[in-house]
Amino acid sequence: MAAALLSFATTGKLSAQDGKTIYNKWCSGCHGETGAGDGVGAKTMLPHPRDFTKAVYKIRTTASGEIPTDDDLRRIVEVGMPGTAMPEWKSRLSAAEIGAVVQYLKTFSPNSFKGAAAKAIAIGKAPGGDGVADGKAVFQKLECYKCHGLAGRADGKSAPTLKDDYGNPIRPADLTENWKFRGGNSVSDIYTRLRTGLDGTPMPSFQDAVENKLITDEQLWRVAQYVHSLSPEKTPESREVVRAALAQKLPATPDDAAWATVERFWIPVVGQIIAKPRWFAPAVDGLWVQALHDGRSLALRVSWDDPSKSPDPIWDEWLGRMSKTLTDVDGPLATQQGPDRLVVQWAQNPSDESKRPYFLGGDTKSPVYAWRWSSEPKVEEGSEAGLGHFTALPNGSVTQSARYADGQWQVVFTRPLASSDTTKVPRFGEGRAIPIAFYAADGSSGEDEVRGAVSTWYAVYLDVPTPTRVFVAPIAMIALSAGLGMLLVTRAQKNGRANGATDSSPMEER
Amino acid sequence: MTRLRLFLRHPFWQAVLLLVVSYLAFTVGVRYVPPLFRVASAPVPGSVVLQYMFIAIVGILIFVSSDELRWRTFKQPLHATLVDQDKRWLRGGLLVAVPVLLGFATYQQARPKVEAPIQLRSIHPAPPGQITFRGKAMQLSGLENPLRKSGSMADHLREGKRVYYQNCIACHGDRLDGAGHYAHGFSPAPANFSDNGTIAQLTESYVFWRVAKGGPGLPREGTPWNSAMPVWENYLTEDEIWSVVMFLYDQAGWQPRRWEASPEERKNPTGAKQPAAPNAPKAGGAK
């Protein structure tokens, strides 16, 4: 590093040799010193790190099957690959350092890069007007749904059969979560991927479809616009507190239209990599949580993308491929698909912050109160003392109503606010935040009660009916200040008249 | 031009101008000016702005009242607003606007707010003097990284790199800045080793303790229930932890803090005078 910086200081330019120094320090841990994508950290990552010796790159602006341009490589190093372990590097490495690394990457595959530099394909401009409906029709015509699913949630019929060029399982992009698109989520990014394809993966290029006049170039743009429209306008940000608004009547089913108007909160979940066995390839990456209460009961709707309603025999092949790829990390995967799972856990004693249980399912000293749901579907109510160590409580009062459609689970939990058991069940009191945490697992990917995705503590706040003092205090304040103002004015005017005239101004009046 | 000059010479408008300038300095200035000189800054919390403004108002009042003539001139527009016939619209407007504003502020205070549970968390809680590592008693105070005195440093660093990339990277990240690809799922955020407020302030024995015992091994003030840091003694050997600690310092480019020199080192001082060596890191957040 020091040598690299020294040479930069003297020449202002970095060589591929400096690139090697930087690469070995920052990149080799995953991509390996020989560039074969087999660094010491590689095996816990899915997708695996890129193998530079093959010169097969997913994110390019060049035609399908061609090498990328230098700018393509530079861009990936600069901004990273969202949704994978590849981070952005522009906050750590200078432009010159990244340039040197790019030159060095190419030396891992000298034959591929020895000819003329690759040329980016010409990308026009997105056609104007609203093309989302047209785009949807072309999406169907090109059979994108076969992998990406009818609603774009990566649940197509072919999804369980997909593998990359190395035989590793690979998921189609979830088109409703475009913040994880590897090559960016703008309409022109998406269009570029459609034109170039993602080399090394089952995602083809649609250049041929345009050249053979199966579809027009404009129609391909429409597909990009349609895909773009499937995700929320803004990347969701997680907020600490989920608000349970007051409602007259609680919707009992997941597809009740009333849920559409309830504010939804994004809770990101990540692989459970704390307790044994750890899990580095979670199928679920976030939950949309909505809550309502009517003063007597609480209703919670949790929605999450899961490409399979587990167990499902068409996913056996996928599970086999997962077990083969993710070996050596804390023991073998299950050979049979389990159900899909969701655990909603609560702090047993929310009023005492100093006694909050461990976020990972509590522990023996301080268990959590949990709703354990599985896709049979059923829900059990109980206490958990460490992940998977669950004891059901008698007379559980939580009920569930679940729906699986188009690659998404929607589950509504309902339970009375009051409880006879005050030690193992929190008091669901209004006007305060009750700690809540989540655990989600997809049975078809080999996930179970410990291998899955987790969140740390969030909170649910139950709205209170607005108390009268909220209106009394401002009105009193208005009356008081207006009265004082009037008093001030009348006194000043009385004094003014008593003095005969106002003070003569030393300055010109406005 | 002359009108403007008259304005600027009038103590009342001077006071208003000073008030506006100080408000902007506290809110916008503190936030955005130091970064222009590459000094880190942050927004001033609302309650602190309120205190600063109070002090500014007191200062401005002292200034306008320090001279009899200035004080009278200052009061003049206020008085005129209260009594002059031609200002009755302004007067009426203020008599409505001020109470409404105050009423709104009171409403903001009184209405029920969605609030997260309060959590007071110590960033660097005091370490215990001694821990039990895999059933073996270990004295932490005065403990140095034993690997620095034996074997090949390059081998230790290679081993540390392996341990880091197989276990730590998902949260603490490639850049060691606590922004790994799982970091967004955890709160509090994973430690940022590239920041000068974490390992750069700590002895290697402290880091060893934090790695070995993880979140569940935190003392109460460290809110152990929320930390996602695993208990690494369940996964890693003593040497693996020491090697990854060594790797952290090497990769992030920091020197570990040292314990005070031992008696024999003090007898053989080597060259330059050492700065006062820190004691055990203190409890309480540095940030």
Q: Are residues A437 and A327 in the same domain?
A: yes
In three-state form (DSSP H/G/I as H, E/B as E, the rest C), the secondary structure along A326-344 is: CCCCCCCCCCCCCCCEEEE
Q: Which helix (H) or strand (E) holds B18?
A: helix B11-24
Of A229, A254, A286, the last residue of a domain is A229
Give A121-130's long-range contacts (Cβ < 8 A, gap of 24+).
A121/A61, A121/A62, A121/A63, A121/A192, A121/A195, A121/A196, A121/A207, A123/A61, A123/A188, A123/A191, A123/A192, A123/A195, A124/A217, A126/A187, A126/A188, A126/A191, A126/A221, A126/A224, A126/A225, A127/A218, A127/A221, A127/A222
Q: Are residues A248 and A193 in the same domain?
A: no
**Best residue in A48, A89, A359 for a mutation probing chain B (most B CBs within 10 Å):** A359
pLDDT band at residue A467 under the 50/70/90 scheme: confident
Lowest mean pLDDT among A11-20, A112-121, B162-171, B198-207: A11-20
Structural domain includes residue A122: no
- Model pLDDT for residues A319-364, shown as the tens digit of each residue: 999 998 887 678 888 889 999 999 999 998 887 777 789 999 999 9
Mean pLDDT computed over every residue of chain A: 91
Contact A41, B165 (CB under 8 A): yes
Exposure string of A452-481, with b = 16+ CB inside 10 Å and e = fewer, is bbbbbbbbbbbbeeeeeeeeebbeebbeeb
Structural domain includes residue A356: yes
User: Encoding tokens for residue B77?
Assistant: 């527009």
Q: What confidence score (pLDDT) does residue B263 get?
A: 55
**Residues A55, B100: Cα–Cα separation, whole Å:** 68
Residue of A nearest to B75 (CA): A503
Q: What confidence score (pLDDT) does residue A475 get?
A: 92
For chain B, the first-to-last Cα distance in angstroms comes to: 49
Q: What confidence score (pLDDT) does residue A430 get?
A: 86
DSSP one-letter code for A258: G
Burial environment of residue A392 by CB neighbours within 10 A (0 to 12, 13 to 18, 19 or more): exposed
**Residues A402, A413: Cα–Cα separation, whole Å:** 9
Q: Residue with structure tokens 């208990």? A: B231
- Domain housing A8: 2-113
Furthest-apart CA atoms within chain B: distance in Å: 93
3-state secondary structure of B277: coil
Strands A270-271 and A390-392: unpaired
Q: Are residues A151 and A75 in the same domain?
A: no
pLDDT band at residue A209 under the 50/70/90 scheme: very high
Contact B175 A240 (CB under 8 A): no
Q: Is A273 a residue whose pLDDT tops 90?
A: yes
Helices then strands, counting H and E runs in chain B, come out as 11, 2
**Residues A126, A124: Cα–Cα separation, whole Å:** 7
Contact B107 A350 (CB under 8 A): no
**Residues A212, A55: Cα–Cα separation, whole Å:** 28
User: Encoding tokens for residue A104?
Assistant: 């060095």
Q: What confidence score (pLDDT) does residue A375 get?
A: 95
- Model pLDDT for residues B88-126, shown as the tens digit of each residue: 899 999 999 999 999 999 888 888 778 777 777 777 888
Exposure string of A103-124, with b = 16+ CB inside 10 Å and e = fewer, is bbbbebbeebbeeeebebbeee
Q: Are residues A189 and A107 in the same domain?
A: no
Q: Which of A462, A265, A455 is nearest to A345 (CA)?
A: A455
Q: Which of A307, A308, A262, A302 is nearest to A286 (CA)?
A: A302
Structural domain includes residue A124: no
Q: Are residues A174 and A306 in the same domain?
A: no
Contact A40 B166 (CB under 8 A): yes
Q: What confidence score (pLDDT) does residue A506 get?
A: 42
Q: Which helix (H) or strand (E) holds A297?
A: strand A297-305
**A380 or A429, higher pLDDT:** A380
Q: What confidence score (pLDDT) does residue B267 get?
A: 53
Q: Is A447 a residue whose pLDDT tops 90?
A: yes
To the nearest whole percent, how much of chain B has pLDDT over 90?
Answer: 59
Q: Which of B93, B58, B57, B74 is nearest to A489 (CA)?
A: B93
Contact A358 B216 (CB under 8 A): yes
**Residues A383, A421: Cα–Cα separation, whole Å:** 12
Structural domain includes residue A500: no
pLDDT band at residue B270 under the 50/70/90 scheme: very low
Contact B110 A87 (CB under 8 A): no
Contact B116 A485 (CB under 8 A): no
Exposure string of B263-278, with b = 16+ CB inside 10 Å and e = fewer, is eeeeeeeeeeeeeeee
Contact A489 B91 (CB under 8 A): yes
Residue of B nearest to A243 (CA): B114
What average pLDDT does the segment B148-166 reach? 96
Q: Is A385 a residue whose pLDDT tops 80?
A: yes
- Model pLDDT for residues A367-383, shown as the tens digit of each residue: 999 999 999 999 999 99
Burial environment of residue B102 by CB neighbours within 10 A (0 to 12, 13 to 18, 19 or more): middle
Q: Are residues A150 and A101 in the same domain?
A: no
Q: Is A177 a residue whose pLDDT tops 90?
A: yes
What average pLDDT does the segment B45-58 reach? 93
Q: Is A11 a residue whose pLDDT tops 60?
A: no
Residue of B nearest to A504 (CA): B76
Find all residues with CB under 8 Å of A406, minimum gap 6, and list them: A149, A150, A151, A153, A155
Q: What confidence score (pLDDT) does residue A479 get?
A: 93
**A5 or B148, higher pLDDT:** B148
Name the residue facing B165 among A40, A363, A467 (closest C-beta): A40
Instruction: Write down the H helix ranges in A217-257.
Output: 217-229
Instruction: Write down the H helix ranges in B137-188.
Output: 153-163, 169-172
pLDDT band at residue A454 under the 50/70/90 scheme: very high
Residue of B nearest to A83 (CA): B181
Contact A273 B182 (CB under 8 A): yes
To the nearest whole percent, how much of chain A has pLDDT over 70?
Answer: 95
CA distance B245 to chain A (A): 16
Domain chopping of chain B, boundaries: 2-110, 130-267
* Any A CB within 8 A of B138 CB: no
**Residues A65, A339: Cα–Cα separation, whole Å:** 40
CA distance A162 to chain B (A): 24
Find all residues with CB under 8 Å of B18, minimum gap 6, and list them: B56, B60, B63
User: Encoding tokens for residue B211?
Assistant: 């790695």
Instruction: Write down the H helix ranges in A171-216.
Output: 187-196, 207-211
Contact A470 B112 (CB under 8 A): yes
Structural domain includes residue A87: yes
A295: left (phi over 0), alpha (psi -120 to 50) or beta: left
- Model pLDDT for residues A99-119, shown as the tens digit of each residue: 999 999 999 999 999 988 889
Lowest mean pLDDT among A8-17, A211-220, B85-94: A8-17
Find residues 210-239 of chain B whose CB sits inside 8 Å of chain A: 215-216, 220, 223-226, 228, 230, 234-235
* Any A CB within 8 A of B182 CB: yes
* Residue A193 amino acid letter: R
**Best residue in A269, A477, A493 for a mutation probing chain B (most B CBs within 10 Å):** A477
Q: What confidence score (pLDDT) does residue B135 get?
A: 92
CB atoms within 10 A of CB A331: 10
Q: Are residues A417 and A391 in the same domain?
A: yes
**A93 or A6, higher pLDDT:** A93
Chain B residue numbers touching A469 (CB-CB < 8 A) = 110
To the nearest whole percent, how much of chain A has pLDDT over 90?
Answer: 77
Q: What confidence score (pLDDT) does residue B36 get?
A: 86
Contact B110 A474 (CB under 8 A): yes
Contact B114 A270 (CB under 8 A): no
Q: What confidence score (pLDDT) does residue B280 get?
A: 38
* Residue A336 amino acid letter: Q
Q: Is A7 a residue whose pLDDT tops 70?
A: no
Q: Is B45 a residue whose pLDDT tops 90?
A: no
Q: What confidence score (pLDDT) does residue B286 get?
A: 35
Q: Are residues A308 and A215 in the same domain?
A: no
* Any A CB within 8 A of B87 CB: no
Phi, psi torsion values for A140, nearest 5 degrees: -70, -45
Q: Are residues A192 and A286 in the same domain?
A: no
- Model pLDDT for residues A245-259, shown as the tens digit of each residue: 999 999 989 999 999
Q: Is A303 a residue whose pLDDT tops 80?
A: yes
Contact A474 B106 (CB under 8 A): yes
Q: What confidence score (pLDDT) does residue A12 get?
A: 56
Q: What confidence score (pLDDT) does residue B269 get?
A: 45
Cα A18 to Cα A3, A5, A105, A125: the distances in Å are 8, 8, 12, 39
Chain A residue numbers touching B69 (CB-CB < 8 A) = 506
Q: Is A308 a residue whose pLDDT tops 80?
A: yes
pLDDT band at residue A34 under the 50/70/90 scheme: very high
Contact A172, A193 (CB under 8 A): no
Chain B residue numbers touching A440 (CB-CB < 8 A) = none
**Best residue in A30, A177, A235, A457 for a mutation probing chain B (most B CBs within 10 Å):** A457
- Positive/negative CA dihedral, A36, A38, A41, A45: positive
- Residue A216: give its domain's CATH number: 1.10.760.10
Find all residues with CB under 8 Å of B185, minimum gap 6, and list them: A268, A269, A270, A453, A454, A455, A456
Lowest mean pLDDT among A50-59, A220-229, A291-300, A330-339: A330-339
Chain B residue numbers touching A482 (CB-CB < 8 A) = 95-96, 99
Angle at CA of residue A317, ends A314 and A320, nearest 5°: 140
CA distance A207 to chain B (A): 33
Contact A92 B166 (CB under 8 A): no
Angle at CA of residue A15, ends A13 and A16, nearest 5°: 150
Burial environment of residue A313 by CB neighbours within 10 A (0 to 12, 13 to 18, 19 or more): exposed
Name the residue facing B165 among A30, A359, A475 (closest C-beta): A30
Q: What confidence score (pLDDT) does residue A505 get?
A: 42
Residue of A nearest to B171 (CA): A273
Q: Is A442 a residue whose pLDDT tops 60?
A: yes
Q: Please state whether the peptide bond connecting residue B188 to the residue before it is cis, i.e. omega within 30 degrees of 0.
A: yes
Query: For residue A290, what are the β-bridge partners?
Result: A301
Q: Is A204 a residue whose pLDDT tops 60?
A: yes
Of A53, A86, A113, the last residue of a domain is A113
The total of structural domains in chain A comes to 3
What average pLDDT does the segment B185-193 reach? 93
Q: What confidence score (pLDDT) does residue A499 get?
A: 66
Q: Are residues A337 and A411 in the same domain?
A: yes
Name the residue facing A485 among B76, B95, B179 (closest C-beta): B95
The alpha carbon of residue B106 and the mean position of all alpha carbons in its chain are separated, in whole angstroms, by 31
Contact A91 B175 (CB under 8 A): yes
Structural domain includes residue A490: no
What average pLDDT does the segment B221-246 reach? 93
Q: Are residues A284 and A416 in the same domain?
A: yes
Q: What confidence score (pLDDT) does residue A199 get?
A: 96
Angle at CA of residue B171, ends A308 and A167, nearest 5°: 45
Q: What confidence score (pLDDT) does residue B273 get?
A: 36
Q: Is A27 a residue whose pLDDT tops 90?
A: yes
Fold entry, domain B130-267: Cytochrome Bc1 Complex; Chain D, domain 2 (1.10.760)
pLDDT band at residue A2 under the 50/70/90 scheme: low
Q: Are residues A70 and A174 in the same domain?
A: no
**Residues A70, A199: Cα–Cα separation, whole Å:** 17
Q: What confidence score (pLDDT) does residue B1 get?
A: 61
Structural domain includes residue A467: no
What average pLDDT does the segment B166-177 reach? 96
Find residues 13-72 of chain B whose CB sits inside 8 Å of chain A: 69, 72
Instruction: Write down the H helix ranges in B28-67.
Output: 30-36, 46-65
**A493 or A51, higher pLDDT:** A51
Of A229, A251, A280, the last residue of a domain is A229
**Residues A29, A35: Cα–Cα separation, whole Å:** 10
- Positive/negative CA dihedral, A504, A506, A508, A509: negative
Lowest mean pLDDT among A391-395, A403-407, B38-42, B139-143: B38-42
**Residues B143, B209: Cα–Cα separation, whole Å:** 11
DSSP one-letter code for A179: G
Chain B residue numbers touching A361 (CB-CB < 8 A) = none
**A287 or B3, higher pLDDT:** A287
pLDDT band at residue B35 under the 50/70/90 scheme: confident
Strands A458-462 and A241-246: parallel
User: Encoding tokens for residue A226?
Assistant: 């349609």
Residue of A nearest to B80 (CA): A502
* Any A CB within 8 A of B279 CB: no
CB atoms within 10 A of CB A80: 18
CA distance A63 to chain B (A): 30
